[in-house]
Amino acid sequence: MATSTSKVVDIHTHMYPPAYVELLESRKSIPFIRRFDGAKDPRYIILPSEAESLDKITAAGSSASANLPGRPVTSHYSSLAQKLHFMDTHGIDISVISLANPWLDFVASEEAGETAKSVNQEFSNMCASSPGRLFFFATLPLTAPPETLLAAIGHIRGLRYCRGVILGTSGLGKGLDDGALVPVFRALAANRLTIFLHPHYGLPSEVWGPRASAEYGHVLPLALGFPMETTIAVARMYLAGVFDAVPGLRMLLAHSGGTLPFLAGRIESCIVHDGHLVCSGKAGPARRTVWDVLREQIYLDAVIYSGVGLRAAIDAGGGEDRLMFGTDHPFFPPLNSDEQGEWESMTWNATAVSKALGDGSEGARKVMGGNAVGVLRLWEDS
């Protein structure tokens, strides 16, 4: 049981296995992958604004333009060798890999069970090929009927390197505060499977204003929309009483909880000052506060790119035991330097840990890997 705190673990790192890439290439609406004549890599189109600019390019017949929409699907997306190279380049001992958004949210109900099974098996095989260096968060077939969904949990609990599931915010179509999800949460908790909550849908595009897509790139939807989506999802779960209903539920929140550490105080103030919640008894003194849930059932990744944010994330959880380092690889590749070299997604986040906790300190070692090893049981015979 290697719980040594000197290991560096990346718990926020995505893979697109070849079968999933094929699935995305077969699609016509977002999300999809499109190949262009003259372009080195295919492009992955996720955002509505990207699909719109693709339509314009196609209409103008300028598909070989250097300014293609979306992001290049480089070998970093699906090559295990490339993942291991990234890990070696940055001194990462263990990666807990996961399928990236939007997972299987778009898969037809009757296919979702089989697709999930094959994707999860593929992740399992990847981990087995580098024993001890790779673990994974599995994918759930959320569009499938309830019995298929629960059967999928039965499948992944038996996979040796599986330590949880990556989950978006849509749930069964009505969000994560949907009572129909409670049996799913209970099954995950009973099997000690941590939920890695990750955004994908962001916010409605009108909030970015008329200049956004033409002038500001994807900064606003990615930098603000994603974290707010996560925050809304967790706040809704909290207000619906999900954390009380499933005390064994453990969630790891992407991007240091979105904005939850910063806004927890305001959420608490709004609860105790809300006439509706006070009258209905939901804001009573016996209530477990948002702070309680942050300290007892929530972990945060350290993908926040600043010491200021990381310090708040640490303080919100009552100490450095609930934070886990991550990189978000293969997203955000370096644009001005070699992709095979150092990535700022690593260096900014590692520097934030040093700034917040002291370079090489016991706290920094916990966040860089010790917490992940202990919480996710990152040893082979678990």
Stretch that binds its own copies, among 96-104, 130-138, 245-253, 256-264 (CB under 8 A): 256-264
Stretch that binds its own copies, among 107-115, 135-143, 334-342, 362-370 (CB under 8 A): 334-342
Alpha carbon 339 to its chain's center: 22
Site map for its own copies, 53-82, x if CB under 8 A?
Answer: --------------x---x-----------
Site map for its own copies, 167-186, x if CB under 8 A?
Answer: -------xx-x---------
Residue 252, strand partner residues: 196, 299
Which one-letter DSSP state was computed for residue 175? Answer: B
Smallest gap from residue 263 Cβ to its own copies (A): 6
Smallest gap from residue 242 Cβ to its own copies (A): 12
288 near its own copies (CB under 8 A) = no
DSSP helix, strand, coil percent of the chain (3-state; round to 5) = 50, 15, 40
Smallest gap from residue 311 Cβ to its own copies (A): 7
Closest CB to its own copies among residues 348, 379: 348
Stretch that binds its own copies, among 90-98, 105-113, 217-225, 366-374 (CB under 8 A): 217-225
SS (H, E, C) 30-93: CCEEECCCCCCCCEEECCHHHHHHHHHHHHHCCCCCCCCCCEECCHHHHCHHHHHHHHHHCCCC
Indicate which single residue of 102, 307, 361, 379 sits in contact with its own copies (rule: CB under 8 A). Answer: 307
Which one-letter DSSP state was computed for residue 171? Answer: B
Closest CB to its own copies among residues 71, 117: 71
Closest CB to its own copies among residues 53, 191: 53
187 near its own copies (CB under 8 A) = no
Are the beta carbons of 311 and 320 closer than 8 angstroms?
no
- Non-local CB neighbours of 34 within 8 Å, separated by 6+ positions: 25, 42, 43, 45, 54, 70
